[in-house]
Amino acid sequence: AGAAGAGGLVVGAAGGAVGASMASDDGGSGARLTSLGTTAVPFHGTRQPGITTPAQARTVLVAYDLEPGTDRAGTAALMRRWSDTAARLGRGERPDADGQVALDAGPSSLTATFGFGGSLFDKLGLADRRPGALKALPSFPDEELDATRSDGDMLVQVCGDDALVCFHAVRTLQRLARGVARVRWQMTGFTRSPGATLRPMTHRNLMGQVDGTGNPQTGDADFDAKIFIGDEGAAGGAAWARGGSYVVVRRIRMLLDAWDDLDVPAQEHVIGRRKDTGAPVTGGDERTEPDYGRRGPDGRLVIAENAHIRVSAPEFNRDATMLRRGYSYHDGFRPDGTPDAGLLFIAWQADPRQGFVPVQQKLARGDALSAFVRHETSGLFVAPPGCPEGRYVGQELLE
Ligand code: HEM
Protein backbone atom coordinates (compact mmCIF):
# COMPACT_ATOMS: atom_id res chain seq x y z
CA ALA A 1 0.00 0.00 0.00
CA GLY A 2 1.91 3.04 -1.17
CA ALA A 3 0.96 5.91 1.03
CA ALA A 4 0.90 9.43 -0.24
CA GLY A 5 2.54 12.25 1.58
CA ALA A 6 5.41 14.55 2.19
CA GLY A 7 8.74 12.90 1.62
CA GLY A 8 11.31 12.19 4.28
CA LEU A 9 13.79 14.93 4.83
CA VAL A 10 17.46 14.40 4.13
CA VAL A 11 19.25 15.88 7.12
CA GLY A 12 22.46 17.79 6.91
CA ALA A 13 24.25 18.11 10.23
CA ALA A 14 23.27 15.08 12.32
CA GLY A 15 22.88 12.63 9.47
CA GLY A 16 25.84 13.98 7.53
CA ALA A 17 28.36 12.66 10.01
CA VAL A 18 26.82 9.22 9.81
CA GLY A 19 26.83 9.30 6.04
CA ALA A 20 30.52 10.20 6.04
CA SER A 21 31.45 7.27 8.22
CA MET A 22 29.34 4.95 6.06
CA ALA A 23 31.21 6.13 3.00
CA SER A 24 34.58 5.21 4.45
CA ASP A 25 33.79 1.54 3.78
CA ASP A 26 33.28 1.97 0.07
CA GLY A 27 36.78 1.15 -1.09
CA GLY A 28 38.16 4.63 -0.59
CA SER A 29 36.36 6.48 -3.36
CA GLY A 30 34.60 8.61 -0.74
CA ALA A 31 31.32 8.31 -2.61
CA ARG A 32 28.23 7.78 -0.54
CA LEU A 33 26.54 4.51 -1.45
CA THR A 34 23.04 5.69 -0.80
CA SER A 35 21.04 8.38 0.96
CA LEU A 36 18.79 5.74 2.48
CA GLY A 37 20.56 5.79 5.83
CA THR A 38 20.79 9.56 6.19
CA THR A 39 17.14 10.29 5.52
CA ALA A 40 15.38 11.49 8.67
CA VAL A 41 11.68 12.02 9.32
CA PRO A 42 10.95 14.68 11.98
CA PHE A 43 9.07 13.39 15.03
CA HIS A 44 7.63 16.69 16.24
CA GLY A 45 4.77 18.41 14.46
CA THR A 46 1.02 18.72 14.32
CA ARG A 47 0.68 15.11 13.11
CA GLN A 48 2.52 12.05 14.30
CA PRO A 49 4.95 10.67 11.72
CA GLY A 50 4.28 7.27 10.14
CA ILE A 51 0.81 8.14 8.85
CA THR A 52 1.38 10.20 5.72
CA THR A 53 5.10 9.38 5.65
CA PRO A 54 5.74 7.36 2.47
CA ALA A 55 5.89 3.72 3.55
CA GLN A 56 9.39 2.70 4.66
CA ALA A 57 10.65 -0.78 3.83
CA ARG A 58 9.91 -2.31 7.24
CA THR A 59 7.44 -2.13 10.03
CA VAL A 60 7.25 -3.66 13.48
CA LEU A 61 3.87 -3.34 15.16
CA VAL A 62 3.96 -3.85 18.91
CA ALA A 63 0.85 -3.78 21.10
CA TYR A 64 1.23 -3.31 24.85
CA ASP A 65 -1.00 -3.89 27.85
CA LEU A 66 -0.50 -1.85 31.01
CA GLU A 67 0.93 -3.83 33.90
CA PRO A 68 -1.58 -4.27 36.73
CA GLY A 69 -1.42 -1.22 38.95
CA THR A 70 -0.12 1.20 36.31
CA ASP A 71 -1.94 4.49 36.77
CA ARG A 72 -2.35 7.61 34.73
CA ALA A 73 0.86 9.20 36.03
CA GLY A 74 2.87 6.08 35.19
CA THR A 75 1.38 5.99 31.71
CA ALA A 76 2.10 9.68 31.22
CA ALA A 77 5.71 9.17 32.29
CA LEU A 78 6.05 6.33 29.78
CA MET A 79 4.59 8.41 26.96
CA ARG A 80 7.10 11.14 27.77
CA ARG A 81 10.00 8.69 27.71
CA TRP A 82 8.71 7.12 24.51
CA SER A 83 8.16 10.47 22.77
CA ASP A 84 11.56 11.87 23.74
CA THR A 85 13.29 8.68 22.68
CA ALA A 86 11.37 8.37 19.40
CA ALA A 87 12.40 11.93 18.53
CA ARG A 88 16.06 11.17 19.24
CA LEU A 89 16.02 7.87 17.38
CA GLY A 90 14.39 9.64 14.45
CA ARG A 91 17.35 12.02 14.33
CA GLY A 92 19.73 9.06 14.30
CA GLU A 93 20.87 9.54 17.89
CA ARG A 94 21.49 6.47 20.02
CA PRO A 95 19.98 7.40 23.35
CA ASP A 96 21.31 4.58 25.51
CA ALA A 97 24.28 2.36 26.12
CA ASP A 98 22.65 -0.37 24.08
CA GLY A 99 22.83 1.55 20.84
CA GLN A 100 25.32 -0.79 19.25
CA VAL A 101 22.80 -2.67 17.15
CA ALA A 102 22.21 0.42 15.05
CA LEU A 103 25.53 2.13 15.70
CA ASP A 104 26.77 2.38 12.11
CA ALA A 105 23.46 3.35 10.58
CA GLY A 106 21.79 6.70 10.07
CA PRO A 107 18.17 7.33 11.02
CA SER A 108 17.01 5.41 7.94
CA SER A 109 13.62 7.19 7.95
CA LEU A 110 12.76 5.70 11.33
CA THR A 111 9.36 6.67 12.68
CA ALA A 112 7.47 5.62 15.80
CA THR A 113 3.73 6.22 15.92
CA PHE A 114 1.74 5.75 19.13
CA GLY A 115 -1.91 4.78 19.58
CA PHE A 116 -4.30 4.01 22.43
CA GLY A 117 -6.84 1.17 22.52
CA GLY A 118 -10.27 1.44 24.13
CA SER A 119 -9.21 -0.73 27.09
CA LEU A 120 -6.67 1.92 28.15
CA PHE A 121 -9.44 4.41 28.91
CA ASP A 122 -11.24 1.93 31.15
CA LYS A 123 -8.08 0.94 33.03
CA LEU A 124 -7.04 4.54 33.66
CA GLY A 125 -10.50 5.78 34.65
CA LEU A 126 -10.68 7.97 31.57
CA ALA A 127 -13.96 6.65 30.16
CA ASP A 128 -15.35 10.20 29.93
CA ARG A 129 -12.47 11.25 27.66
CA ARG A 130 -12.81 8.28 25.35
CA PRO A 131 -13.73 9.44 21.84
CA GLY A 132 -17.04 8.19 20.48
CA ALA A 133 -15.55 6.32 17.53
CA LEU A 134 -13.23 4.22 19.72
CA LYS A 135 -15.70 1.37 20.02
CA ALA A 136 -15.00 -2.33 19.62
CA LEU A 137 -15.22 -3.16 15.92
CA PRO A 138 -18.27 -5.27 15.05
CA SER A 139 -17.66 -8.85 14.02
CA PHE A 140 -17.71 -9.58 10.32
CA PRO A 141 -18.72 -12.79 8.50
CA ASP A 142 -15.98 -15.39 8.01
CA GLU A 143 -13.31 -13.78 10.18
CA GLU A 144 -11.24 -16.13 12.32
CA LEU A 145 -9.83 -13.80 14.96
CA ASP A 146 -7.11 -14.72 17.41
CA ALA A 147 -7.87 -12.68 20.54
CA THR A 148 -4.32 -13.01 21.87
CA ARG A 149 -2.97 -11.17 18.81
CA SER A 150 -5.77 -8.61 18.66
CA ASP A 151 -6.43 -5.29 20.45
CA GLY A 152 -4.24 -3.98 23.29
CA ASP A 153 -4.03 -0.92 25.54
CA MET A 154 -1.39 0.75 23.35
CA LEU A 155 0.06 0.35 19.88
CA VAL A 156 3.53 1.33 18.73
CA GLN A 157 4.09 1.28 15.00
CA VAL A 158 7.81 1.43 14.23
CA CYS A 159 8.73 1.91 10.57
CA GLY A 160 12.13 2.35 8.94
CA ASP A 161 14.21 1.50 5.94
CA ASP A 162 16.67 -0.70 7.83
CA ALA A 163 15.84 -3.85 9.81
CA LEU A 164 18.56 -3.33 12.44
CA VAL A 165 17.50 0.26 13.03
CA CYS A 166 13.90 -0.92 13.48
CA PHE A 167 14.90 -3.69 15.88
CA HIS A 168 16.95 -1.25 17.90
CA ALA A 169 14.05 1.15 18.18
CA VAL A 170 11.60 -1.58 19.16
CA ARG A 171 13.96 -2.92 21.80
CA THR A 172 14.76 0.54 23.17
CA LEU A 173 11.08 1.44 23.50
CA GLN A 174 10.28 -1.92 25.08
CA ARG A 175 13.04 -1.48 27.68
CA LEU A 176 11.59 1.91 28.57
CA ALA A 177 8.21 0.27 29.20
CA ARG A 178 9.44 -2.28 31.72
CA GLY A 179 7.33 -2.32 34.87
CA VAL A 180 4.72 -0.09 33.23
CA ALA A 181 3.50 -1.98 30.17
CA ARG A 182 4.10 -5.45 28.75
CA VAL A 183 4.15 -6.56 25.13
CA ARG A 184 0.85 -8.18 24.19
CA TRP A 185 1.65 -9.05 20.58
CA GLN A 186 4.09 -8.13 17.85
CA MET A 187 4.03 -8.39 14.06
CA THR A 188 6.71 -7.66 11.54
CA GLY A 189 6.02 -6.48 8.01
CA PHE A 190 7.93 -5.50 4.92
CA THR A 191 7.50 -3.89 1.58
CA ARG A 192 9.82 -2.87 -1.19
CA SER A 193 13.09 -1.15 -0.26
CA PRO A 194 13.80 2.27 -1.72
CA GLY A 195 15.97 1.84 -4.79
CA ALA A 196 14.77 -1.67 -5.60
CA THR A 197 12.94 -0.25 -8.61
CA LEU A 198 14.44 2.22 -11.07
CA ARG A 199 11.89 4.85 -10.13
CA PRO A 200 9.51 5.08 -7.17
CA MET A 201 6.45 2.94 -7.89
CA THR A 202 3.32 1.86 -6.05
CA HIS A 203 4.15 -1.20 -3.96
CA ARG A 204 3.09 -4.77 -4.70
CA ASN A 205 1.50 -7.09 -2.19
CA LEU A 206 2.22 -10.82 -1.88
CA MET A 207 -0.51 -11.67 -4.39
CA GLY A 208 1.59 -9.71 -6.85
CA GLN A 209 -0.90 -6.88 -7.26
CA VAL A 210 -0.03 -3.22 -7.43
CA ASP A 211 -1.52 -2.10 -4.10
CA GLY A 212 -2.18 1.48 -3.02
CA THR A 213 -3.28 3.11 -6.28
CA GLY A 214 -6.70 4.23 -5.09
CA ASN A 215 -5.38 5.79 -1.89
CA PRO A 216 -6.36 9.38 -1.11
CA GLN A 217 -3.53 11.84 -1.75
CA THR A 218 -2.30 14.40 0.78
CA GLY A 219 -3.05 17.15 -1.75
CA ASP A 220 -6.75 16.21 -2.02
CA ALA A 221 -9.04 18.99 -0.80
CA ASP A 222 -10.74 16.77 1.77
CA PHE A 223 -7.69 14.69 2.76
CA ASP A 224 -7.30 16.06 6.28
CA ALA A 225 -11.04 15.87 6.97
CA LYS A 226 -11.12 12.24 5.87
CA ILE A 227 -7.97 11.03 7.62
CA PHE A 228 -7.55 13.20 10.73
CA ILE A 229 -9.96 13.74 13.61
CA GLY A 230 -11.80 17.07 13.33
CA ASP A 231 -14.07 19.05 15.63
CA GLU A 232 -16.92 16.56 15.42
CA GLY A 233 -14.69 13.61 16.32
CA ALA A 234 -13.20 15.60 19.20
CA ALA A 235 -16.55 16.43 20.76
CA GLY A 236 -17.40 15.88 24.42
CA GLY A 237 -14.37 15.00 26.51
CA ALA A 238 -12.29 14.08 23.48
CA ALA A 239 -10.93 17.53 22.57
CA TRP A 240 -7.43 16.09 23.14
CA ALA A 241 -7.91 13.84 20.06
CA ARG A 242 -8.34 16.66 17.52
CA GLY A 243 -5.73 16.23 14.80
CA GLY A 244 -5.22 12.57 15.65
CA SER A 245 -6.32 9.61 13.57
CA TYR A 246 -7.80 6.13 14.00
CA VAL A 247 -5.88 3.12 12.80
CA VAL A 248 -7.42 -0.25 12.03
CA VAL A 249 -4.90 -3.09 12.08
CA ARG A 250 -5.95 -6.44 10.60
CA ARG A 251 -3.66 -9.36 9.94
CA ILE A 252 -5.12 -10.81 6.74
CA ARG A 253 -3.68 -14.15 5.67
CA MET A 254 -3.65 -14.76 1.93
CA LEU A 255 -4.60 -18.23 0.70
CA LEU A 256 -1.76 -18.07 -1.76
CA ASP A 257 -1.98 -21.66 -3.03
CA ALA A 258 -5.61 -21.15 -4.05
CA TRP A 259 -4.76 -17.74 -5.51
CA ASP A 260 -1.91 -19.14 -7.58
CA ASP A 261 -4.30 -21.71 -9.07
CA LEU A 262 -6.10 -18.86 -10.85
CA ASP A 263 -4.68 -17.69 -14.17
CA VAL A 264 -3.80 -14.02 -14.49
CA PRO A 265 -7.04 -12.93 -16.25
CA ALA A 266 -9.05 -14.59 -13.48
CA GLN A 267 -6.93 -12.83 -10.84
CA GLU A 268 -7.48 -9.50 -12.61
CA HIS A 269 -11.22 -10.18 -12.67
CA VAL A 270 -11.19 -10.58 -8.87
CA ILE A 271 -9.60 -7.17 -8.30
CA GLY A 272 -10.74 -5.22 -11.36
CA ARG A 273 -7.20 -4.11 -12.17
CA ARG A 274 -4.41 -5.50 -14.32
CA LYS A 275 -1.67 -7.33 -12.52
CA ASP A 276 1.29 -5.97 -14.51
CA THR A 277 0.51 -2.24 -14.54
CA GLY A 278 -2.24 -1.89 -11.94
CA ALA A 279 -4.43 -0.23 -14.60
CA PRO A 280 -8.19 -0.80 -14.41
CA VAL A 281 -9.33 -3.74 -16.55
CA THR A 282 -11.34 -1.16 -18.53
CA GLY A 283 -8.07 0.20 -19.94
CA GLY A 284 -5.51 2.97 -19.65
CA ASP A 285 -2.69 3.11 -17.16
CA GLU A 286 -2.48 2.92 -13.37
CA ARG A 287 -3.81 6.46 -12.98
CA THR A 288 -6.75 6.08 -15.40
CA GLU A 289 -10.17 6.20 -13.71
CA PRO A 290 -11.95 2.83 -13.77
CA ASP A 291 -14.97 2.80 -16.13
CA TYR A 292 -17.46 1.13 -13.82
CA GLY A 293 -20.33 1.33 -16.33
CA ARG A 294 -18.58 -0.36 -19.26
CA ARG A 295 -19.98 -3.69 -20.47
CA GLY A 296 -18.22 -6.28 -22.61
CA PRO A 297 -19.55 -7.96 -25.79
CA ASP A 298 -21.31 -10.50 -23.56
CA GLY A 299 -23.25 -7.68 -21.88
CA ARG A 300 -21.52 -8.17 -18.56
CA LEU A 301 -19.81 -5.43 -16.58
CA VAL A 302 -16.09 -5.42 -17.42
CA ILE A 303 -15.27 -4.53 -13.80
CA ALA A 304 -17.33 -7.29 -12.22
CA GLU A 305 -20.11 -6.63 -9.74
CA ASN A 306 -18.00 -8.27 -7.01
CA ALA A 307 -14.57 -6.97 -8.11
CA HIS A 308 -12.59 -5.76 -5.07
CA ILE A 309 -12.21 -2.18 -6.34
CA ARG A 310 -15.93 -1.82 -7.13
CA VAL A 311 -16.99 -3.12 -3.71
CA SER A 312 -14.48 -0.99 -1.79
CA ALA A 313 -14.32 2.27 -3.77
CA PRO A 314 -15.49 5.43 -1.95
CA GLU A 315 -17.93 6.31 -4.77
CA PHE A 316 -19.96 3.20 -3.93
CA ASN A 317 -19.55 3.54 -0.16
CA ARG A 318 -20.89 7.01 0.68
CA ASP A 319 -17.40 8.37 0.21
CA ALA A 320 -15.90 6.12 2.93
CA THR A 321 -12.19 6.87 2.74
CA MET A 322 -9.09 5.44 4.42
CA LEU A 323 -5.40 5.80 3.91
CA ARG A 324 -4.18 2.21 3.48
CA ARG A 325 -0.57 1.93 4.56
CA GLY A 326 -0.20 -1.81 4.90
CA TYR A 327 2.80 -4.12 4.88
CA SER A 328 3.34 -7.71 3.79
CA TYR A 329 4.23 -10.42 6.29
CA HIS A 330 5.68 -13.89 5.88
CA ASP A 331 6.11 -15.93 9.05
CA GLY A 332 7.03 -19.31 7.58
CA PHE A 333 4.62 -22.09 6.73
CA ARG A 334 1.65 -23.53 8.54
CA PRO A 335 1.33 -27.17 9.63
CA ASP A 336 -0.63 -27.90 6.43
CA GLY A 337 2.28 -26.61 4.33
CA THR A 338 0.62 -23.40 3.16
CA PRO A 339 2.39 -20.04 3.57
CA ASP A 340 1.70 -18.08 6.75
CA ALA A 341 1.79 -14.90 4.72
CA GLY A 342 -0.40 -12.01 3.80
CA LEU A 343 -1.13 -8.40 4.48
CA LEU A 344 -0.78 -6.41 7.68
CA PHE A 345 -3.67 -4.15 6.72
CA ILE A 346 -3.08 -0.78 8.40
CA ALA A 347 -5.65 1.88 7.55
CA TRP A 348 -5.81 5.45 8.90
CA GLN A 349 -9.02 7.44 9.01
CA ALA A 350 -10.90 10.21 10.80
CA ASP A 351 -13.73 7.89 11.91
CA PRO A 352 -13.80 4.09 11.50
CA ARG A 353 -17.60 4.13 11.63
CA GLN A 354 -17.53 5.98 8.32
CA GLY A 355 -14.40 4.30 6.93
CA PHE A 356 -13.32 0.78 7.67
CA VAL A 357 -16.51 -0.60 9.23
CA PRO A 358 -19.03 -0.03 6.41
CA VAL A 359 -16.49 -0.97 3.73
CA GLN A 360 -15.49 -4.20 5.47
CA GLN A 361 -19.15 -5.05 6.05
CA LYS A 362 -19.65 -4.83 2.30
CA LEU A 363 -16.42 -6.62 1.41
CA ALA A 364 -17.18 -9.52 3.76
CA ARG A 365 -20.50 -10.08 2.00
CA GLY A 366 -19.72 -9.47 -1.62
CA ASP A 367 -16.03 -9.22 -2.50
CA ALA A 368 -14.56 -11.77 -4.92
CA LEU A 369 -11.28 -11.49 -2.99
CA SER A 370 -12.87 -12.85 0.21
CA ALA A 371 -12.45 -16.45 -0.98
CA PHE A 372 -8.69 -15.93 -0.99
CA VAL A 373 -8.11 -14.18 2.34
CA ARG A 374 -8.76 -14.78 6.06
CA HIS A 375 -8.85 -12.02 8.66
CA GLU A 376 -6.91 -13.41 11.63
CA THR A 377 -6.47 -10.50 14.03
CA SER A 378 -8.03 -7.12 14.62
CA GLY A 379 -7.26 -3.92 16.45
CA LEU A 380 -8.56 -0.36 16.58
CA PHE A 381 -6.46 2.40 18.15
CA VAL A 382 -6.68 6.15 18.31
CA ALA A 383 -3.40 7.90 17.57
CA PRO A 384 -3.24 11.28 19.33
CA PRO A 385 -2.09 14.29 17.32
CA GLY A 386 1.62 14.97 17.04
CA CYS A 387 3.42 17.00 19.69
CA PRO A 388 5.78 19.96 19.53
CA GLU A 389 9.26 19.76 21.00
CA GLY A 390 9.14 19.67 24.80
CA ARG A 391 5.81 17.89 24.94
CA TYR A 392 4.83 14.24 24.53
CA VAL A 393 2.25 12.34 22.49
CA GLY A 394 -1.00 12.02 24.44
CA GLN A 395 -0.15 14.76 26.94
CA GLU A 396 -3.53 16.52 26.57
CA LEU A 397 -5.20 13.26 27.63
CA LEU A 398 -2.84 12.10 30.35
CA GLU A 399 -1.55 15.18 32.18
C1 HEM B 1 -7.98 -1.40 -3.47
C2 HEM B 1 -5.79 -5.59 -2.49
C3 HEM B 1 -8.12 -5.81 1.75
C4 HEM B 1 -10.06 -1.50 0.88
C5 HEM B 1 -7.20 -2.53 -3.58
C6 HEM B 1 -6.40 -2.88 -4.74
C7 HEM B 1 -5.78 -4.04 -4.44
C8 HEM B 1 -6.19 -4.45 -3.13
C9 HEM B 1 -4.81 -4.81 -5.32
C10 HEM B 1 -6.31 -2.09 -6.04
C11 HEM B 1 -5.21 -1.09 -6.02
C12 HEM B 1 -5.43 0.00 -5.02
O13 HEM B 1 -6.25 0.90 -5.22
O14 HEM B 1 -4.77 -0.05 -4.00
C15 HEM B 1 -6.23 -6.01 -1.25
C16 HEM B 1 -5.82 -7.23 -0.61
C17 HEM B 1 -6.48 -7.30 0.58
C18 HEM B 1 -7.30 -6.12 0.69
C19 HEM B 1 -4.84 -8.23 -1.19
C20 HEM B 1 -6.41 -8.35 1.64
C21 HEM B 1 -5.40 -9.17 1.81
C22 HEM B 1 -8.85 -4.67 1.88
C23 HEM B 1 -9.66 -4.32 3.04
C24 HEM B 1 -10.20 -3.11 2.78
C25 HEM B 1 -9.74 -2.69 1.48
C26 HEM B 1 -9.84 -5.19 4.29
C27 HEM B 1 -11.12 -2.25 3.64
C28 HEM B 1 -11.99 -2.72 4.51
C29 HEM B 1 -9.64 -1.10 -0.35
C30 HEM B 1 -9.97 0.19 -0.93
C31 HEM B 1 -9.38 0.21 -2.21
C32 HEM B 1 -8.69 -1.05 -2.37
C33 HEM B 1 -10.77 1.30 -0.28
C34 HEM B 1 -9.41 1.38 -3.20
C35 HEM B 1 -10.59 1.26 -4.08
C36 HEM B 1 -10.63 2.41 -5.06
O37 HEM B 1 -11.00 3.51 -4.65
O38 HEM B 1 -10.27 2.22 -6.20
N39 HEM B 1 -7.07 -3.51 -2.62
N40 HEM B 1 -7.12 -5.37 -0.44
N41 HEM B 1 -8.94 -3.66 0.96
N42 HEM B 1 -8.88 -1.82 -1.24
FE43 HEM B 1 -8.06 -3.61 -0.87
pLDDT higher than 90, residue 23: no
Whole-angstrom Cα distance, residue 50 to residue 158? Answer: 8
- Give the ipTM of the model, two decimals please: 0.99
Cα of 62 vs centre of ligand 1, distance in Å, is 24
| Active-site residue identified among 65, 151, 161, 211 | 211
Protein residue with its CA nearest to atom 10 in ligand 1: 211
| Confidence category of residue 24, pLDDT binned at 50, 70, 90 | very low
- Residue 303 sits at the vertex; the CA angle it makes with 299 and 306, to the nearest 5 degrees, is 105
Whole-prediction pTM:
0.93
Q: How far is ligand 1, taken at its centre, from the CA of residue 192, in Å?
A: 18
- List of residues 6+ apart from 247 with CB closer than 8 A: 115, 155, 157, 346, 347, 348, 349, 380, 381, 383
User: pLDDT value at position 32?
Assistant: 72
258-300 pLDDT per residue, tens: 999 999 999 999 999 999 999 999 999 999 999 999 999 999 9
List the residue whose alpha carbon is closest to atom 15 of ligand 1.
211
Distance 65 CA to ligand 1 centre (A): 30
How far is residue 88's CA from residue 51's CA, in Å, rounded to a whole number?
19
pLDDT digits (tens, 9 = 90+) for 135-167: 999 999 999 999 999 999 999 999 999 999 999
pLDDT digits (tens, 9 = 90+) for 69-112: 999 999 999 999 999 999 999 999 987 776 788 888 999 999 99
| Residue pLDDT, tens place only, 231-252 | 999 999 999 999 999 999 999 9
pLDDT at position 172: 95
CB under 6 Å to ligand 1: residues? 205, 207, 209-214, 252, 254, 271, 273, 308-309, 312-314, 342-343, 345, 356, 359-360, 363, 369, 373
Single out the residue of 74, 253, 70, 220 nearest to residue 149, CA to CA: 253
Q: What gap in Å lies between CA 267 and CA 369, rounded to an integer?
A: 9
DSSP 234-257: T-TT-GGGTT-EEEEEEEEEE-HH
Q: Is 263 a catalytic residue?
A: no
d(CA 194, ligand 1 centre) in Å: 22
Q: What is the torsional sign of CA 286, 195, 52, 129?
A: positive
